[in-house]
């Protein structure tokens, strides 16, 4: 599938919103989920194929150096009437194919993608919702908060660079939200874990039962949080949607090479619990 950039907006110094329209978005089938994601394809500058392409065909017919780089991005929102698909890209100081694309995107640029795939929507059966992550998980967290019903309770902790990196979030639910600002040193890697450790799960409104946890973001950060929730807070694996979206110091290509092994080791954490 593909769409063309209709609008580009700098939401914060580190987040660029891209709204796609046109292309073949009239054929998009959006799953009933708040973490739906597309697998975008960014061709190299010297690609010999057209701007609209089939990733599978390129893989079969072109040398490897012409294959597009693949990156996953959450659908922040889908407007089926206007046929507009909104994605929020973290633009980070490290070099990155997708970050660079979003930084330089202009109206009319094409984005080819596959999907959307998905897995999560806040369950009405959860006693409460625990939504944790960094800016890369913010689109899914924002969409999840918008899906809550009046009376639903959510505790939300989000890591970001500072107050001007915060994004207004809307919900009909009862939301306890805190932004965790990075210091720019090694303490940043445990900010999320420290915030979860400080939560009182016996507080009024939270004591009704274990939460359902949505925990996504940097691999090592979310792994520590997952381990804590399983071994110290009594959550079961079924109470968690948890996946490492990216890995510090690694491109997505390098990360995908070891991700399966990493996730297997992560799954084995707190195995006896
Ligand atoms: C299911 C899923 C949904 C996702 N949804 C989103 C989304 O909606 N928005 C979003 O921004 N990301 C999202 N991500 C994460 C995104 O796919 C990765 O961050 C990806 O690596 C970014 O690609 P890049 O080309 O910009 O950087 P890469 O080329 O992959 O990496 C270059 C360097 O940048 C670093 N880096 C990568 N991501 C970040 C980051 N977020 N912050 C700081 N440094 C980083 C890497 O560690 C590396 O050192 C999602 C990932 C998954 C698996």
Q: How many domains does the chain have?
A: 2
139 lines ligand 1 (CB under 6 A): yes
Which residues does residue 178 pair with via DSSP β-bridges, in sequence order? 157
Could you tell me if 160 and 113 lie in one domain?
no
Q: 200 and 81, same structural domain?
A: no
Residues 257 and 219 in one domain: yes
Residue 273 maps to a domain: no
109 in a domain, yes or no? yes
Final residue of a structural domain among 117, 141, 176: 117
User: CA 150, 146, 232 angle in degrees (round to 5)?
Assistant: 80
Phi and psi at 83, nearest 5°, equal 55, 50
- The verdict on 139 and 216 lying in the same domain is yes
Residue owning tokens 């274990």 = 210
Q: Clarify whether residues 35 and 60 are in a common domain.
A: yes
Q: Does the CB atom of residue 248 touch ligand 1 within 6 A?
A: yes
Q: Are residues 258 and 133 in the same domain?
A: yes
Whether 122 is covered by a domain: the verdict is no
- End of a domain among 64, 95, 117? 117
Last residue of a domain, one of 92, 117, 142: 117
Same domain? For 50 and 91 the reply is yes
137 shares its domain with 229: yes
Residues 141, 68: one domain? no
Range of the domain at 69: 2-117
3-state secondary structure of 142: helix
CATH of residue 25's domain is 2.40.30.10
Mind listing the pLDDT tens digit of every residue in the chain (273 residues)?
999 999 999 999 999 999 999 999 999 999 999 999 999 999 999 899 999 999 999 999 999 999 999 999 999 999 999 999 999 999 998 789 999 999 999 999 999 999 999 889 999 999 999 999 999 999 999 999 999 999 999 999 999 999 999 999 999 999 999 999 999 999 999 999 999 999 999 998 898 889 999 999 999 999 999 999 999 999 999 999 999 999 999 999 999 999 999 999 999 987 766
Q: How many residues does the chain have?
A: 273
CA torsion, ordered 147, 135, 264, 253, to nearest 10 deg: 120
Is 98 near ligand 1, meaning CB less than 6 Å away?
yes
* Cβ of residue 12 lying under 6 Å from some atom of ligand 1: no
List the alpha helices (DSSP H) in the chain. 55-61, 97-104, 138-147, 191-197, 219-231, 252-268
145 domain residue, yes or no = yes
Asked if the structure places residue 196 within a domain, the reply is yes
Please tell me if the CB atom of residue 238 comes closer than 6 angstroms to any atom of ligand 1: no
Tell which atom from ligand 1 comes closest to the C-alpha of 69.
Answer: 25
Alpha-carbon span 94 to 68, nearest angstrom: 19
Return the C-alpha torsion angle 211, 216, 221, 223, nearest 10: 70
Phi, psi of 34 (to 5 degrees): -105, 5
For 82-126, what is each residue's pLDDT tens digit? 999 999 999 998 789 999 999 999 999 999 999 999 889 999 999
- Which CATH number do you get for residue 192? 3.40.50.80
C-alpha neighbours within 13 Å on the C-beta side of residue 121: 14
pTM of the model: 0.97
Ligand 1 pocket test target in 10, 74, 245 with most atoms within 8 Å of CB? 245
Q: How far is CA 45 from CA 62, 66, 103, in A?
A: 14, 9, 15
Same domain, 151 and 86: no
143 and 112 fall within a common domain? no
- For residue 218, report the distance from its CA to the centre of ligand 1, in Å: 9
188 is a domain residue? yes
Query: What's the pLDDT tens digit per position in 250-266?
Result: 999 999 999 999 999 99
Distance 251 CA to ligand 1 centre (A): 8
Same domain, yes or no: 169 and 239: yes
For residue 123, tell me if it sits in a domain.
no
| Residues 171-198 as b or e (16 or more Cβ within 10 Å = b) | bebebeeebeeeeeeeebeebbbebbee
């Amino acid at each position: 599938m593909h769409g063309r950039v209709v609008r580009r907006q700098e939401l914060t110094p580190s987040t660029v919103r891209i709204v796609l329209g046109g292309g073949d978005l009239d054929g998009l089938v959006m799953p009933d989920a708040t973490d739906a994601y597309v697998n975008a394809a960014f061709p190299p500058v010297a690609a010999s194929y057209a701007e609209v392409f089939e990733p599978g065909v390129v893989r079969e017919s072109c040398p490897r150096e012409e294959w597009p780089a693949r990156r996953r991005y959450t659908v922040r929102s889908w407007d089926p009437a206007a046929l507009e698909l909104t994605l929020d890209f973290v633009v980070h100081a490290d070099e990155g194919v997708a970050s660079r694309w979003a930084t330089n995107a202009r109206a009319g640029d094409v984005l080819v993608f596959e999907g959307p795939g998905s897995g999560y929507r806040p369950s009405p059966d959860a006693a409460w919702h625990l939504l944790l992550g960094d800016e890369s998980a913010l689109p899914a967290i924002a969409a999840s908060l918008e899906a809550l019903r009046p009376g639903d309770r959510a505790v939300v902790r989000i890591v970001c660079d500072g107050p001007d990196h915060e994004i207004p979030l809307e919900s009909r639910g009862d939301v306890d939200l805190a932004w965790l600002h990075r210091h720019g040193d090694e303490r940043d890697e445990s900010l999320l874990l420290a915030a979860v450790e400080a939560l009182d799960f016996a507080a009024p409104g939270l004591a009704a039962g274990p939460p359902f946890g949505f925990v996504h973001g940097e691999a090592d950060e979310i792994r520590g949080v997952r381990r804590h929730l399983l071994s110290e807070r009594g959550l079961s694996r079924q109470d968690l949607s948890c996946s490492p979206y990216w890995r510090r110091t690694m491109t997505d290509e390098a990360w995908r090479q070891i991700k399966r092994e990493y996730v297997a080791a992560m799954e084995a954490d707190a195995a006896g619990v």
